Amino acid sequence: MDLATVIQLLDSTLRLATPLLLACLAGLFSERAGIFDIGLEGKMLAAAFFSAAVAAMTGNVWIGLLAGTAASLALAALHGLASITFRGNQLISGVAINFLASGLTVLIGQTWFQLGGRTPSLEGAARFQEITLPLAGVLEPVPVIGPLYANVLSGHTILVYVGLLAVPATWYVLFRTRFGLRLRAVGENPGAVDTAGVSVVGLRFSAVLICGLLCGLAGAYLATGLSAGFVKEMSAGRGFIALAALIFAKWRPWYALAACLLFGLLEALGNRFQSLEVLGVTLPTQFMQALPYILTVVILAGFVGKAIPPRAGGAAYVKER
Amino acid sequence: MTIMKSLFGATAIVALGAAAATAEPGLIIDLGGKFDKSFNESAYNGAQRWLEESGASYRETELQSEAQREQSMRRMAESGANPVVVLGFANASTLEKVAPDYPDTNFTIVDMVVDQPNVQSVVFKEHEGSFLVGVLAAMASDSGTVSFIGGMDVPLISKFACGYAQGVKAVNPDANVIVNMTGTTPTAWNDPVKGAELTRAQISQGSDVVYAAAGGTGIGVLQAAADEGILSIGVDSNQNYLHPGYVLTSMVKRVDNAVYEAFEAGAAGEFQPGIKVMGLDNNGVGWALDENNEPLITESMKATVEETKTRIIAGEITVHDYTTDGSCPAY
């Protein structure tokens, strides 16, 4: 494997990891506050559709991004309403959101564009353009670091950098602010938070809405950054891989970055090599595709440390009976 | 009670008879969606053409999930539609089971052979059409490396890949053909993001012409090829217009003709069970040339590909069909 191949692989890894990372951090906020969210997939899909649709109509990707995020926030609010306000089952609400997004995007898309749920192809300012980081050209001749900076880190759309910056931001918010402490507490022991006079419902709603915002970015990146338009079901299970990454990362932001990069790398390897020779054993590409799930099962089974979810996760908070 | 039963039975038979007299043809659109710019859309266009020309009507339903195949096939047959056209290889096992239950309904399946007395199986010689676009790809390539992206990893898609590789090697025996499949589940037909990523991976390996046979995933492939400034080849429908100047040609598979002819035969009462093969000789497959790709196709390319076509039809060139033995001589 020469340097050019490695660079291409890492470049691809970063592109593929970004939607996973944004969705994974989204799930992290929600689950740390005690709200399980398997509706990441649906929120991404809705955001992908509305960002592409509005970008196609207005010709401005930023307005599209706003619309996509708004759609994702609306679904997040629905999830909050069902599972926080009405204390419904969080998993069922999440499944419902996935179905809702899958059906609604195609239905609305067909009504608006008559293209069978697709949006028209986006061109020019209607999609995110790749940006070159400062000094990329100057640093390129520097051995190893130069090409890595110029060809791997530079030359992505802005949402990739937003995704990478969201990791330290998430860490800071969750572990260095009062809001973060309370948010984590509400996922472990909401009764204690309530006794301290802090609103459990308010905290959980803000966590769910942050989750909606990040899912919106992930979806918009799929439709307007990675591709040029929406195709039905284009999230293709990435929301579920993000959930797997979240468990793999044991609900921690920096681990989430590592897990998403690992899953992205596995996908990039699977794309680049149809079969991979490792120590004389040929691994077929299907194995690479299944590996994220296998790894998650291994983690869940407790082979590599224990993955302990937030204690109050999945349970609605009932103040008094 | 028995009298009641036979009475009901008689009414049912009368109702069935009435339905058969005014039978509308039925079309079941497969997963991937009606407007996939590709396979299903071509079928839909054939049905629409029949609609306009005959002035009659037809029934249509679109599959939303793998689990609905049997249910929608039965519902279509029970609603009195005749013939019922089902699209795609994935329906074969279901149709095998359903067809004997409705002996009075004629079925047409596209892309797969089902051996039942009331089933017509339309198969295409995709390997021949792919051979032709392979010839064009090899002539258009400067790097000597071309590539293929398939949708779901099934023998039918390998048939496209194998024909293409043979066409490429016929022009340039030293050419390198990279073959990638998007995935092993039906989501592989609707993943433009992965399609684009595969395209970029192939470009980094030197490919400068990419052929996509991947349904909705192909939209991402063609987009990435246009973004990176290499040539692409569309499939099933004519996709040349998607990115004028970047789509070298399209391997058209006239699913529309298959549907149109099935509807036409059904209306005229001339339904013929058995296998119907659509190849280069009866315009079942071919390559697309229109104003969008005219500047890309040189005179010598056009002459070579037309000559190849004549020689395949005449039997001078035999294109190996992957599905016959599950292997390909070209890769």
Same domain for B186 and B214? yes
C-alpha span between A198 and A182 (Å, rounded): 8
Closest residue on chain B to A1 (Cα):
B205
- Residue B26's Cβ-side half-sphere holds a number of Cα atoms within 13 Å equal to 25
- Say if B47 falls within a structural domain: yes
C-alpha span between A154 and A171 (Å, rounded): 24
Tell me how many domains chain B contains: 2
- Say if B330 falls within a structural domain: no
- Say if B321 falls within a structural domain: yes
Residues A236, B242: C-beta atoms closer than 8 Å:
no
Domains of chain A, earliest start first? 3-300 (1.10.3470)
Residues A116, B181: C-beta atoms closer than 8 Å:
no
Decide if pLDDT at B304 tops 50: yes
Of B41, B153, B200, the CB nearest to A12: B200
Q: What is the pLDDT of residues A52-110, one digit of tens each?
A: 999 999 999 999 999 999 999 999 999 999 999 998 999 999 999 999 999 899 889 88
Supply B227's token pair: 């973004």
Supply A269's token pair: 């390897």
Of A231, A234, A271, the CB nearest to B201: A271
Residues A271, B190: C-beta atoms closer than 8 Å:
no
DSSP letter string, B17-46: HHHHHTPPPEEEEPTT-TTSSSHHHHHHHH
Residues B190, A5: C-beta atoms closer than 8 Å:
no
For residue A99, give Cα distances in angstroms to A91, A312, B64, B188: 13, 26, 12, 19
- Residue B156's Cβ-side half-sphere holds a number of Cα atoms within 13 Å equal to 16
Same domain for B108 and B151? no
> Position A134: which residue type?
P
**What residues in A contact B187, CB-CB < 8 Å?**
233, 236-237
Of B37, B184, B201, the CB nearest to A272: B201
**What residues in B contact A44, CB-CB < 8 Å?**
none
Q: Which residue segment(s) compose the domain that B110 sits in?
A: 2-125+256-278
* Residue in A231, A266, A276 to test binding to B, most B beta-carbons within 10 Å: A231
C-alpha angle A287-A99-A315 in degrees, rounded to nearest 5: 90
**What pLDDT does B5 receive?**
54
**What pLDDT does B2 receive?**
55
DSSP state at residue B68: G
Which of A15, A13, A16, A37 has its CA nearest to residue A25?
A37
Of A106, A115, A233, the CB nearest to B187: A233
Residues A271, B194: C-beta atoms closer than 8 Å:
yes
Q: How far is B185 from chain A (nearest CA, A)?
A: 10
Supply A257's token pair: 């970055």
Which of A120, A72, A69, A125 has its CA nearest to residue A98?
A72
Which of B158, B173, B132 has its CA nearest to residue B284?
B132
Same domain for B308 and B170? yes
Decide if pLDDT at B312 tops 90: yes
**What residues in B contact A237, CB-CB < 8 Å?**
187
C-alpha span between B156 and B39 (Å, rounded): 13
Q: How far is B308 from chain A (nearest CA, A)?
A: 31
Same domain for B178 and B309? yes
CATH of the domain at B273: 3.40.50.2300
**What residues in A contact B36, CB-CB < 8 Å?**
116
Instruction: Indicate the pLDDT class of residue B26, thresholds 50, 70 and 90.
Output: very high
- Say yes or no: A118 contacts chain B, CB-CB below 8 A: yes
C-alpha span between A234 and B193 (Å, rounded): 8
Same domain for B221 and B320? yes
Q: How large is the average pLDDT for residues A157-166?
A: 93
Decide if pLDDT at A272 tops 90: no
Same domain for B274 and B313? no
Of B41, B181, B190, the CB nearest to A236: B190
Same domain for B22 and B130? no
Gyration radius of chain A's alpha carbons: 20
Phi, psi dihedrals of residue B119, rounded to the nearest 5°: -120, 130
**What pLDDT does A206 receive?**
95
pTM of the model: 0.83
C-alpha span between B98 and B73 (Å, rounded): 8
**What pLDDT does B66 receive?**
80
Residues A234, B190: C-beta atoms closer than 8 Å:
yes
Residues B192, A227: C-beta atoms closer than 8 Å:
yes
How far is it between the farthest Cα atoms of chain A? 69
Per the CB < 8 A criterion, the answer to whether B110 and B174 are in contact is: no
Residues A118, B35: C-beta atoms closer than 8 Å:
yes
Supply B217's token pair: 């995933």
The angle that helices B192-204 and A253-272 make with each other, rounded to 10 degrees, is: 60
- Helix, strand, or coil here: A87? coil
Same domain for B69 and B140? no
The residues in A 182-241 lying below 8 A from B, measured between CB atoms, are 222, 226-229, 231-234, 236-237
Supply A12's token pair: 């691809």
Average pLDDT across chain A, whole number: 88
- Say if B52 falls within a structural domain: yes
The angle that helices A61-80 and A90-113 make with each other, rounded to 10 degrees, is: 150
Decide if pLDDT at B311 tops 80: yes
DSSP bridge pairs for A4: none
Residues B223, A236: C-beta atoms closer than 8 Å:
no
Q: What is the pLDDT of residues B76-121, one digit of tens each?
A: 999 989 899 999 888 999 999 999 999 999 999 998 899 999 999 9
Same domain for B35 and B132? no
* Residue in B45, B148, B157, B197 to test binding to A, most A beta-carbons within 10 Å: B197
Listed in sequence order, the residues at least 6 apart from A46 whose beta carbon sits closer than 8 Å to its beta carbon are: A68, A71, A72, A74, A75, A101, A104, A105, A219
Q: What is the pLDDT of residues B127-153, one digit of tens each?
A: 999 999 999 999 999 999 999 999 998
- Say if B331 falls within a structural domain: no
Same domain for B86 and B161? no
Please determine, for the modelled complex, whether the ipTM score is greater than 0.90: no
B contact set with A (CB within 8 A)? 33-37, 41, 153, 179-181, 183-184, 187, 190-194, 196-198, 200-201, 204-205, 216, 219-220, 223, 227, 242
**What residues in B contact A274, CB-CB < 8 Å?**
179-181
Residues A16, B242: C-beta atoms closer than 8 Å:
no
Residues A272, B183: C-beta atoms closer than 8 Å:
no
Q: Strand B285-287 vs strand B247-253: parallel, antiparallel, or unpaired?
A: antiparallel
Q: Which helix (H) or strand (E) holds A265?
A: helix A253-272
Same domain for B225 and B164? yes
The larger pLDDT score, comparing residue B215 to residue A304, is at B215
- Say if B56 falls within a structural domain: yes
Which of A247, A130, A51 has its CA nearest to residue B224?
A130
- Say if B141 falls within a structural domain: yes
Decide if pLDDT at A11 tops 50: yes
Of B179, B190, B223, the CB nearest to A233: B190
**What residues in B contact A16, CB-CB < 8 Å?**
193, 197
C-alpha span between A231 and A227 (Å, rounded): 9
Q: How large is the average pLDDT for residues A131-159?
A: 81
Closest residue on chain B to A224 (Cα):
B193
For residue A1, give Cα distances in angstroms to A96, A145, A146, A305, B139: 45, 18, 19, 33, 29
**What pLDDT does B210 receive?**
96
Same domain for B111 and B154? no
The larger pLDDT score, comparing residue A304 to residue A254, is at A254
Decide if pLDDT at B7 tops 60: no
Which of B10, B91, B36, B17 has its CA nearest to residue B242?
B36
- Say if B89 falls within a structural domain: yes
The larger pLDDT score, comparing residue A177 to residue B216, is at A177
